Amino acid sequence: MKQYTVIISGGTGFIGSNLINELILKKWHVHVIARNRTNTINLIKNFPSIDIHIHDGSTENLIFLFKKINADLLFHLATYYKAEHIIADVVPMLSSNVIFGTQLLEAMSNSKTRKLVNVGTTWQNFNDNSYNPVCLYAATKQAFEDIQQFYVESFNISSINLKLTDTFSFYDKRDKILNYILKSPANTTILMSEGNQIIDILHISDVISGLLISANLLLENKLSNKNNFSLKSNEQMPLKELVHKFIHINNLSINIKWGGKKYRNREVMTPFMPDPLLPTWIQKYSIFSVNF
């Protein structure tokens, strides 16, 4: 099996760190681009075999790094996420989700790295519209995809945009609802919305599988140009049903007050995925068969 050289942005994140672990097992050569304020201590500790490059913020620096690394493919996972932004989020969100991404594309256009796997969000498609961002975060993710089109057309870059909803894992330390419930003290009362929104959630192993399939489709030249795919769970259900099953399976003593909180502004009641399912990808892990 060929051992490729890849660059990862967002390697310190939940998806990124899990991807790095899998790529190391495959004996791929992994290079992580980290911005100068990123804490890389855990990366260095957990993955001593990877190469970490500190990006100083300039486009010129990224071009230098890409030419030096000479990678076969870029996994672009870095993102600034806020479901509902405040004024202070505007600049860092644009910087991370639009400017940094564009700098990466510019570095690709000035190097031999011409294949890109980018992670997007189904929140780019509110109310079943082909494009209607749920929030500013989703709008910035779409903006990057639009900019990406120019580089694909102009510099022979091949890309896959892989749209996801949500992810889970036993080792997930993010402040997600299932982890929050699991870590709450017994007999705690948790205020939630009415819980009628449909949840589509995938185990991290299924997401990593999708990223690897995407990479191989590009590396084996089975796809070119700009391609949009999605990963969809076959266990979609209302949040209320998901939480009740989760509490029962894990034998938790947690009280949920449904309707104790209002829905978010522009709450996604049903995830809309206009893009086709990623070819050959199959969901392997059920949320109800994984030990938390």
Residue 5: phi and psi, rounded to 5, are -105, 125
Residue 163 falls within a domain, yes or no? yes
Residue bearing tokens 């939480």? 243
Q: By percentage, how much of the chain surpasses pLDDT 90? A: 77
Based on the fold, state whether residues 33 and 14 are members of the same structural domain: yes
Same-domain status, 224 and 105: yes
In the block, tokens 């505007």 appear at 90
Q: Which amino acid is at 252?
A: L
The domain in which residue 177 lies consists of 169-199+236-258
Residues 119 and 205 in one domain: yes
Amino acid at 289: S
Angle at 216 between CA 5 and CA 140, to 5 degrees: 85
Residues 89 and 194 in one domain: no
Residue listed under structure tokens 């495959």: 26
Report the CATH number at residue 39: 3.40.50.720
Q: What is the pLDDT of residue 272?
A: 80
Q: Please indicate, yes or no, if residue 276 is contained in any of the structural domains.
A: no
DSSP helix/strand/coil, 83: coil
Q: Do 112 and 195 fall into the same domain?
A: no
Closest C-alpha to 118, from 145, 92, 82, 153:
145
State whether 144 and 73 are in the same domain. Answer: yes
User: Beta-carbon neighbour count of residue 216 at 10 Å?
Assistant: 16
Per the CB < 8 A criterion, the answer to whether 21 and 13 are in contact is no
**DSSP E strand boundaries for the chain:** 5-9, 29-35, 51-55, 73-76, 115-121, 158-164, 166-168, 188-192, 198-199, 201-203, 226-230, 237-238, 254-258
pTM above 0.75, yes or no: yes
Q: Are 23 and 6 in contact (CB under 8 A)?
A: yes
Query: What's the number of domains the chain is made of?
Result: 2
188 in the same domain as 114? no
Q: What is the pLDDT of residue 1?
A: 66
Question: Is 143 in the same domain as 15?
Answer: yes
Instruction: Kindly report the number of other CB atoms within 10 A of residue 226's CB atom.
Output: 18
Tokens of 33: 């681009």
Asked if residue 241 belongs to a domain, the reply is: yes
- Residue 216 sits in the same domain as residue 82: yes
> In Å, what is the CA distance from 77 to each residue of 40, 138, 188, 280?
15, 14, 35, 22
Q: Which residues of the chain have pLDDT under 50?
A: 292
Q: Quickly tell me which residue has 């910087």 as its tokens.
A: 95
